[in-house]
Copies of this chain bind each other. A is one copy, B any other.
Amino acid sequence: MAVAAVIALALHLSSASLSAAQVDPLGAWNDGVAKRAIVEFVHVTTTPGPAFVPPDERIATFDQDGTLWVEHPMYSQVVYCLDRVPVVVKAKPELANQEPFKTVLSGDREAIAKLSKHDLEIILAATLTGMSTDEFVADVKGWLATARDARWKRAYTDLTYLPMIELLKYLRDNGYKPYIVTGGGQDFVRVYAQAVYGIPPEQVVGTAGGIKYAYDKDGKPYLTKEPKLLLNDDNAGKVEGIHLMIGRRPFAAVGNSVGDQQMLEYTKAGAGSRLSMLVLHDDAEREYAYGPAQGLPDTKVGTFTQALFDEAHRDGWVVISMKRDWNRVFAFEK
């Protein structure tokens, strides 16, 4: 009887795992080169054999803008900063007649879209610093709860790619620790990364500024965000960020633009089996299409050059075609 009970239990467990296995963990991915490369990579690095990777070395790094969520027509964080300009100007009224604040306040979308990189840097510095870290978190949370993107009329955090959410979970279920490595603000992304991606603050590497340590009137310490750049987490800075905050080379990395080039090279150059992947935005209908690799005009937001495309092929990176490889883009799609 005891043996029968054990067998019954074993059968139950076995059928439970079988039915779990029947649900494809990468169901939003079409069967193709990209999906097969992912499954093969995970298989060989988690199965005893020459490419096996010990669990604590299973590091995967993901760019965010254009890789995990929509980056067009403008990075969500830049929208946040533009939305914050009136608050900053209210506190410092003299800015109202100074550029680039004047243009932002005018509400002229075309003029705003034409702001230079230097203009944007001034806006980012003015809107992302000078408050305490606690105030910043509260403000970003408030903005995320109410701001809606212009095309889908949805919260920005709804605009994450379902196949990538699946991939993050699939990697985690196989012992991988996924990090976000973003050119965006580390403090900004950390506000929602746990809820949206299941990625805790300590696994978010991003562009980071200094903080000032001070005491309030009750002698309690608090931190203020300073306009001092600690880490510019883009291009080679992404590898610097990985070295600084992770301290080991990833086994897998995913990006979508020239800012991810060095991260993908560095990952792929490691010993053993490594997976470097690039998301190609080639689906204007369901999302956007951009980058000269598709014969489309280039973009300042998420630049994907022909040279990057060529390097991907030469270096064995997997190119993910949004159009061909994803049968669903967003979770809210039917």
Q: Residues of A with Cβ closer than 8 Å to B?
A: 1-2, 4-5, 56, 59, 133, 186-187, 190, 194, 200-202, 204, 208, 210-213, 220-221, 223, 230-231, 236, 239-240, 243-248, 262, 265-266, 269
Contact call B240/A202, Cβ cutoff below 8 A: no
From A133, which residue of chain B is reached at the shortest CB distance?
Answer: B243
- Chain B hits for A245, CB < 8 A: 202, 244-245
8 extra A-B contacts, CB within 8 A, seeds A2-B4, A201-B247, A202-B202 = A1-B1, A133-B243, A190-B247, A201-B248, A202-B248, A220-B269, A223-B243, A230-B231
CA distance A106 to B4 in the complex (A): 80
CB-based nearest B residue for A262: B213
A-B contact pairs, 11 of them (CB 8 A): A1-B1, A2-B5, A133-B243, A201-B247, A201-B248, A202-B202, A202-B246, A204-B247, A212-B236, A213-B236, A213-B240
- Which residues does chain B contribute within 8 Å of A244, judged by CB atoms? 186, 208, 230-231, 245
* Cα(A201)–Cα(B202), bound, Å: 13
The answer to whether B269 touches A240 (Cβ under 8 A) is no
Cross-chain contact B202 with A247 (CB below 8 angstroms): yes
B201 and A223 contacting across the interface, CB-CB below 8 Å: no
A212 to B211, CA, bound (A): 24
Q: A187 to nearest B CB, angstroms?
A: 8
Min distance, Cβ A20 to any Cβ of chain B, angstroms? 24
Cα distance, A56 to B200, chains bound together (Å): 8
Nearest residue, chain B, Cβ from A202? B246
Are the C-beta atoms of B247 and A223 separated by less than 8 Å? no
Considering only CB atoms, which chain B residue lies closest to A205 in the complex? B245
From known contacts A200-B56, A230-B230, A244-B230, infer whether A239 and B221 are also in contact, taking CB-CB under 8 Å. yes
Nearest CB to that of A200 among chain B residues? B56
**B contact residues around A220 at 8 Å (CB):** 269
Name which of A133, A210, A243 has the most chain B CB atoms within 10 A of its CB.
A243
